Every structure is written in C-alpha cells, then in structure tokens.
Structure 1
C-alpha cells in the first residue's frame, strides 16, 4: 500500500484570499436565508437583505478571482531558476538569437510605422480610343 503524499502548504497570500472568499460566501448565504425568511414574513427587511445578497455575490466572485490571481503569482515566484523543487525550475537558457539583417539601401527592412510596403495609389489612366476601321 502506498503512502499518501503530503500536500504542500499554500502560500500566505493564497490562504488569506481563500479565507476572505469563505467569509464572503458565508455572508452571502446569510443574506439568502434572511431574504427568504423576510419574503415569507412579508417584512420590510426584504430589500436590504436582497441588496446584501447582491453585494455578497459580487464580493464572492471578486474573492474567487483574487484566489486565481494570487495562485498564478505564487506559481510564477516558485518557478525561479535554481529553486529547490525539481518541477518548478525555469527553462534552460536558449541559444542566442540570430542577428537581425542589416537594413538595405532602399530601407525596405526597417521602415517607419507610417510607411507602407505598397506603392502609393495611382488612379487608373483612361485608355486611348482607337478608331474603328472603316470599310
């Protein structure tokens, strides 16, 4: 039987974001319960409870997005070359890039942004009229 692998501890900013998400979700669920009970009772607390529930849904989504972002940031920090974990190391340095071509005499390799590769528009010239042969 294999020994279960220990899970690594989440970084502090990810754990803090997860705690905020759980608290926001609890706040939203309390708002749902209060709104449901206020609607059954016909109480005046319905509108504030619905507003609190809406804010709670917005806050919960915000916290979930914060968790995703903080996890990405923590993963990028862990992928530093020379880190202790073998799968978190960065890519080995690549070969140097090839030299860029020198600009040509006509300047076609490096052009300014306002310059175009196409020649300027020339309106079509009218064709000369050839008279029809007479019999």
Structure 2
C-alpha cells in the first residue's frame, strides 16, 4: 500500500488518454468496414455449421453448402466495397491544397 502513498499509481487517473497513432477513418469507410466484418463473421460461422452438418450426415448440409457459396460471394463483395470506398474517399477528399517542398518558389511581385 505504501506504493500508492508515495506518488506511484495514486497520482494518475483511472486511464491516460493518449493521442491516436493514425487518424480516424472517414465515416463511409468505417461503415463499409464494419459491414464487411459482420458479413465475413456470419459467413465463417455459417461455414463452420455447414462443416459440422456435413460430418454428421444431416440433410441440412446440402442447402447450407449453397448458402455458403452465396455467403462467400457476398463477403467478397463486401470486402471489395471497403477497398473501393476507401479509394473513392482518397480521390475525392485526400488531396491537400498546400505547396510541397518540391514545388517551385513563387515569383516575386514586380
């Protein structure tokens, strides 16, 4: 207990807010990334259930295989949507209108 009294941990708050390492993703990109993550998670869960149904020899394995194929197509589309949305955002809003160090110096006014 003496450690807390000598200014060790007791002086700090419950947590320390640190600045983010990278800037936050734009909202459309984050929305498509969350959507893709959920779709991929559902597809992987569906594939696991399909595997166990096939191992047990259940009649539900056949329709689940078709659902798994459709889920794989949708999950691939969702991941491509993230990449396309990110690229579109960078092309529309990613350009910074500042002269770089390689830019030619401005001519002096006469």
Give the TM-score, by structure 1 length.
0.54
Match of 1:42 in 2: 57
Task: Determine the C-alpha separation between the residues in 1 that align with 2:86 and 2:22.
Answer: 15
1:31 maps to: 46
Instruction: Report deviation, 1:5.
Output: 6.5
Deviation at 1:11, TM superposition (A): 0.8
Between the aligned partners of 1:32 and 1:59, the Cα distance in structure 2 is: 14
Q: Which runs of 5+ in 1 are unaligned?
A: 93-135
Give the Cα separation in 2 of the matches to 1:5 and 1:15.
16
Q: 1:10 aligns with which of 3, 25, 46?
A: 25
CA RMSD of aligned residues (A): 2.5
TM-score (norm: length of structure 2): 0.65
Structure 2 residue runs without a partner (length 5+): 1-18, 104-110
